[in-house]
Amino acid sequence: MSAPFFEAEGLCWGPRGRPDLLADISLTLNQGEVLAICGANGAGKSSLLRLLYRFHRPRRGHVRLEGTDIWSLPARDVACRIAAVLQEQPTDFALTVRQIVALGRLPHQRGLSAAGSADRDAIAHALARLHLNALAERPFGTLSGGERQRVMVARALAQAPKLLILDEPTNHLDIRHQLELMALLRGLGLTVITTLHDLTLAAEYADRVLLLAGGRVLTEGAPAEVFTEAHIAGAFSVRSRIDLSGQHPRFSFHL
Ligand SMILES: Nc1ncnc2c1ncn2[C@@H]1O[C@H](COP(=O)(O)OP(=O)(O)OP(=O)(O)O)[C@@H](O)[C@H]1O
């Protein structure tokens, strides 16, 4: 049997000298699937992502991409395969949008060789996909929060990854840009793992949802299986009503 495209198995992690914050987390993704990770503040979503894009080394367990443990590869090789869009943004505000997006090509460039035509094509394509052509020569520091977020997604696309990992990518985006970004992520054909606070977006755009609570997997599966009133109460300590009359579930929440 061939290995799953992406697999995390029995992951445990905690900060140095502290007990585990994440315990026994496993997930499997097929190529092209979109996984949403949802859960309350402090549930461990960002910490889990850091294990998946090889920032934190798990205390126990393994993360494998196409059957290879990501810790058996040099960081640069992993960066050619996995791109991450994080909540923290670059502080180098003087760089232009094009220069920031070009940073996505660094893992693919050897030594100090100048960017080649493949790099220029990837940068142009990423700028166009995120509707950033008009902003390409603007200093990053002069952009709005939502524009910056789109630049960070463009940088990740320029990296030409096999797996795209995003931490709350719809933060700062207005409703139209949220929907556009989710449709873009869906339409890329890439395997995507993203944390999302908005359960409606997760239900509409993700193939699978992993619900975290207290650093553990509460449940994982198709959105309709995961988003039940009982699971939502368990993860978020709120009561909810789920309207299943439309194409996608709609939620209302109460204390
Ligand atoms: N390096 C660290 N040292 C100490 N505590 C940490 C560290 N990293 C994460 N934590 C703690 O682990 C818990 C989970 O944090 P994490 O950022 O993963 O949660 P989250 O689900 O992404 O939350 P949010 O929705 O608020 O972004 C939090 O209580 C956080 O304070």
Q: Which atom of ligand 1 is nearest to the CA of 21?
A: 12
ipTM of the complex: 0.97
* 29 C-alpha to ligand 1 centroid (Å): 24
Q: What is the pLDDT of residue 114?
A: 64
CA-nearest residue for atom 9, ligand 1, is 47
Q: What is the pLDDT of residue 112?
A: 59
* 202 C-alpha to ligand 1 centroid (Å): 21
Q: How far is CA 4 from CA 7, 33, 58, in A?
A: 6, 12, 19
User: How many residues does this entry show for the chain?
Assistant: 255
Ligand 1 site, residue 21, Cβ cutoff 6 A: yes
Q: Is the pLDDT of residue 160 over 80?
A: yes
User: Are 149 and 172 contacting, i.e. CB atoms less than 8 angstroms apart?
Assistant: yes
* 21 C-alpha to ligand 1 centroid (Å): 8
Taking the domains of the chain in order of start, what are their residue ranges? 1-66+163-255, 92-161
First to last CA, the chain: 47
* 216 C-alpha to ligand 1 centroid (Å): 13
Average pLDDT value for residue range 58-72? 97
pLDDT classification of 83: cutoffs 50, 70, 90: very high
pLDDT classification of 170: cutoffs 50, 70, 90: very high
CA-nearest residue for atom 16, ligand 1, is 44
Q: How far apart are CA 252 and CA 24, in angstroms?
A: 31
The answer as to CATH 3.40.50.300 being correct for domain 1-66+163-255 is yes
**Pairing verdict, β 6-13 and 82-85:** unpaired
